């Protein structure tokens, strides 16, 4: 079972490769705890919330001032 674009069985250490499992081979990983996506994001420094900034449109006077270099 391949979890990413890997070609060989086992773990491919090449650039852009992912983790590949060989059927019939047993592997164990110790010390792994279950995390929620938000916890993983927080631990890795990824923002857990998206913020949208909406700026109000300029007035006609403000647009003309930008075009002609004057203050409205």
What pLDDT score does 28 carry?
67
Whether the Cβ atoms of residue 4 and residue 18 lie closer than 8 Å to each other: yes
Burial (Cβ within 10 Å: 0-12, 13-18, ≥19) of residue 17: middle
pLDDT tens readout for residues 9-21: 444 455 555 666 6
Q: What is the pLDDT of residues 42-51, one digit of tens each?
A: 788 877 776 7
Place of tokens 């930008």: 66
Per-residue pLDDT, 60? 81
Q: What is the pLDDT of residues 20-44, one digit of tens each?
A: 667 777 766 666 677 777 777 778 8
């Amino acid at each position: 079972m391949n979890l990413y674009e890997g070609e060989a069985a086992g773990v491919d250490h090449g650039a852009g490769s992912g983790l590949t499992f060989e059927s019939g081979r047993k592997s164990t990983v110790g010390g792994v705890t279950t995390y929620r996506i938000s916890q993983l994001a927080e631990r890795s420094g990824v923002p857990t919330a998206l913020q949208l900034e909406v700026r109000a449109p300029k007035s006609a006077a403000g647009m003309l001032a930008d075009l002609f270099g004057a203050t409205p």
